Structure 1
Amino acid sequence: MAFHEVRFPANLSFGSVGGPERRTEIVALASGFEERNTPWAHARRRYDAGMGLRSLDDLSALVAFFEARAGQLHGFRWKDWSDYKSCLPSRAPAFDDQVIAQGDGMTKVFRLTKTYASGPGSYARPIDKPVRDSVRAGIGGNEVFPGTHYAVDHAQGLITFAEAPQPGAEITAGFEFDVPVRFDTDRIAVSVASFQAGEMPAIPVIEVRV
């Protein structure tokens, strides 16, 4: 599948409805107990792009974006306004927001991740589409700097250090990120009269693996 490194207009995704989806298989036993399992290692996010439209100009911009992606054919970036930073929404990303790995003295390339923790459970989410020029990194509690100490692959979410971090050194990062998605429909059906009356078209968007 082709992926276009272009972001859906952020002003149109603001106000959209969506979030993570999990798949859980539940088997009820004769004893009344349950066995629960999931075939998915990672959540998949779904959104409705139609909910962010506020004017006919917005609708025109969405149709142009849809046509340029050839409907479902090409993926693109999506800003999830409810979850797009390595830190709390009220803060700016810092180099020590997320621990992404431990140095081993040999490895130079590491994947960006965001960890969600609550009680005894935690989930490390791979970050594939960091926002350009937003990534900050640290080694062993000290900030290091792009160009001199590391480079970022913004299309794959990889950070490459000029020198391998020392064994045991915590590698940290802070960043903003997008979600890789595609349209989940090949058809947009909208009536201008209905739109002006406040009826929003349903335009589903779904996360893709890249």
Structure 2
Amino acid sequence: MTGFHDVRFPDAIARGAIGGPEFSTDVIAVASGYEQRNVNWSAARAKFDISTGIRTREQMAEVIAFFRARRGRAYGFRFRDWNDFEATGEALASTADPLVWQLRKQYASGPSSEQRTITKPGSGTVVVRVDGDPVAVTVDHLTGLVTFSTAPVAQPYADFAFDVPVRFDTDHLPVTAVAYHIQQVSSIQLVELRV
């Protein structure tokens, strides 16, 4: 991914952020009262507001430094969504190469499900199993691709922690210094990057 810094947004601030998955759906109501719904995105895209996680002057300084280092919207980075950052027993997705598999997470409810491609697994968190036994693999922490030395004989599964690739959704950081230890910021939005 071009324009991506492989650094994670500060965890202490991320824990206080609000946000989650977002879809894009057009709803058109016709004269009879019925409606037509057009789904624009096949997969969710996460959106977060980190301003709610800033509690101290030091944290505000950390956000300003992080924002400047990413040059606003110019560079993406890792963000830990503390409401959804772990996966257990998830089936890996096959690729054209029988030695290379993709990490993913399934969200199922009733007859429907969404397969989320995981591209930013946490370093040292990926445990891959074939037939219930752990196997040695190489994990690319920038793509979520898992490489086996020999093709697995059965469906591989993995446990892992992961981050969300995001970017700031603004090039301006509107901070008001109310007092020495009190800053106000209305909103600092982050949006998930599609990889």
- TM-score normalised over the length of structure 1: 0.85
Taking the aligned partners of 1:32 and 1:171, their CA distance within structure 2 comes to 48
Native 8 Å contact 1:53 1:200 kept in 2: no
1:160 aligns with 2:147: yes
Partner of 1:100: 92
Partner of 2:128: 137
State the Cα deviation string for residues 84-117 of structure 1 (Å, max 9, x = none). Answer: 0004xxxxxxxxx11224799x711111000011
Deviates more, 1:3-12 or 1:23-32: 23-32
Gaps spanning 5+ residues in structure 1: where? 88-96
Taking the aligned partners of 1:30 and 1:13, their CA distance within structure 2 comes to 45
Count of residues in correspondence between the two structures: 194
Partner of 2:105: 114
Letter in 2 for 1:99: A
Q: How does 1:10-159 map to 2 (within 5 A)?
A: 10-29=11-30, 32-87=33-88, 97-101=89-93, 107-144=98-135, 149-159=136-146
Native 8 Å contact 2:90 2:106 kept in 1: yes
Taking the aligned partners of 1:198 and 1:66, their CA distance within structure 2 comes to 16
Which residue of 167, 179, 186 maps to 1:182? Answer: 167
Letter in 2 for 1:62: V
State the Cα deviation string for residues 4-29 of structure 1 (Å, max 9, x = none). Answer: 00000111111111111001123345
State the Cα deviation string for residues 153-180 of structure 1 (Å, max 9, x = none). Answer: 00001101010012xx121001000000
Partner of 1:207: 192
Cα deviation, residue 199, structure 1: 4.1
Cα deviation, residue 190, structure 1: 1.3
Cα deviation, residue 34, structure 1: 3.2
Question: CA separation of 1:200/1:34 partners in 2, compared to 1, >3 Å: closer, same or farther?
Answer: same
Letter in 1 for 2:36: E
Question: CA separation of 1:195/1:163 partners in 2, compared to 1, >3 Å: closer, same or farther?
Answer: farther
Gaps spanning 5+ residues in structure 2: where? none
State the Cα deviation string for residues 72-95 of structure 1 (Å, max 9, x = none). Answer: 1000000101000004xxxxxxxx
Question: CA separation of 1:3/1:198 partners in 2, compared to 1, >3 Å: closer, same or farther?
Answer: closer
Matched residue of 2:158: which SS?
strand
Native 8 Å contact 1:98 1:113 kept in 2: yes
**Structure with the higher fraction of residues in strand conformation:** 2
- TM-score normalised over the length of structure 2: 0.91
Native 8 Å contact 2:137 2:149 kept in 1: yes
Taking the aligned partners of 2:187 and 2:57, their CA distance within structure 1 comes to 15
Native 8 Å contact 1:80 1:178 kept in 2: yes
Taking the aligned partners of 2:193 and 2:129, their CA distance within structure 1 comes to 29
Aligned Cα root-mean-square deviation (Å): 2.1
Taking the aligned partners of 1:127 and 1:108, their CA distance within structure 2 comes to 18
Native 8 Å contact 2:45 2:192 kept in 1: yes
Taking the aligned partners of 2:6 and 2:121, their CA distance within structure 1 comes to 11
Question: CA separation of 1:122/1:64 partners in 2, compared to 1, >3 Å: closer, same or farther?
Answer: same
